[in-house]
Amino acid sequence: MKKHILPLILIFLALTSNAQTKKDKDRAAIKNLCGCYEIEFNFAETFSYSDDSLYTPSPVKIAYALEWVDLTYEDQNNFILQHILQMGSDSNAYIIKHWREDWAFQDKKMLSYISENKWENKILTHKEKKGKWTQKVFQVDDSPRYEGAATWVHVDGKSYWENIADAPLPRRERTIRSDYNILKRENRIEITDYGWVHKQDNLKILRTDNFEDKIIAREYGYNPYKKVDDSKCIHARNWWGKNSGKWEKVREIWAEVFEENNIVELKKSVDDKKLWEYLFSDEYQDENEIRSVINEFILN
């Protein structure tokens, strides 16, 4: 009997070891997204499928930024990465809280964007979550943008994660486009020798009830994050050190909202002001005040 048990134990230990090694590589890749980066934002429409003869594509967008990606929280199965923009000179630096990304291993559910500022909590099956990491992306006010699940791949010296997820219009398009309402984002995040790169092959889609999705255009995005010495982001790091407590309250309130509601629909503005305009104000520090203004934006 012992002769049969020993090989089984060895096989089990080998499988467990391999799985742990794979997860360790995943965690290392996610942590490699953190640090101080010089970034290029490059976006261009590559194809148009519109029936409108007067269709005008969005202009090519190229922008540069210095950004601190802070490892705000980690445990064995979760990471919170907060992006902080640093602009201006060293003597006159201007800081903006940018987007946030949460990574979770084999999460039980995932946010799915429906359309028109509405999201739904989707329960993931065992197959949909096994071995996968979800990346949940948030707006500057910590309201949701999109979420996707995929496996980190480590092969031929490369480490990458790629996924397709529906999302609302990006900030760069909100004021110039009204002919589509869904950006189907095909994201690829890849670790490189200079840092990492975020590649996007996106579809601009018009989604209406009782009709098939209509593809308006295709867009390509190429955003390299070139790592520089952490000291270059000292102002962003200091700002986040002073303000992270407030935004922890904001995160916790949003987490409660999506824990208590299967579907969440948000207003675009209240009294002609966006949510970020309220939350970026120093007036909002108290947890009850923050909760109150967030609740003002929830429709359901």
Residue 89: predicted pLDDT: 87
Residue 9: predicted pLDDT: 54
Beta-carbon contacts of residue 60 (< 8 Å; ≥ 6 apart): 42, 43, 44
Domain membership flag for residue 126 = yes
Domain membership flag for residue 47 = yes
Domain membership flag for residue 194 = yes
Residue 12: predicted pLDDT: 52
Domain count, the chain: 1
Average pLDDT per 10 consecutive residues for the chain, totaling 300 residues: 54 54 96 98 96 92 97 98 94 94 97 96 95 98 98 96 97 93 98 98 95 96 98 98 98 96 96 97 95 94
Domain housing 101: 23-296
Neighbours of 75 (CB within 10 A): 7
Residue 20: predicted pLDDT: 61
**Range 217-221, long-range pairs (CB < 8 A, 24+ positions):** 217/45, 217/47, 217/48, 217/49, 217/50, 217/57, 217/58, 217/180, 218/45, 218/46, 218/47, 218/49, 219/43, 219/44, 219/45, 219/46, 219/58, 219/183, 220/43, 220/44, 220/46, 221/41, 221/42, 221/43
Beta-carbon contacts of residue 10 (< 8 Å; ≥ 6 apart): none
Domain membership flag for residue 131 = yes
pTM as predicted: 0.91
8 A C-beta contact, residue 165 and residue 183? no
Residue 91: predicted pLDDT: 83
Domain membership flag for residue 10 = no
Domain membership flag for residue 41 = yes
| Alpha helix (H) residue ranges in the chain | 2-31, 126-129, 234-260, 275-279, 287-296
8 A C-beta contact, residue 181 and residue 116? yes
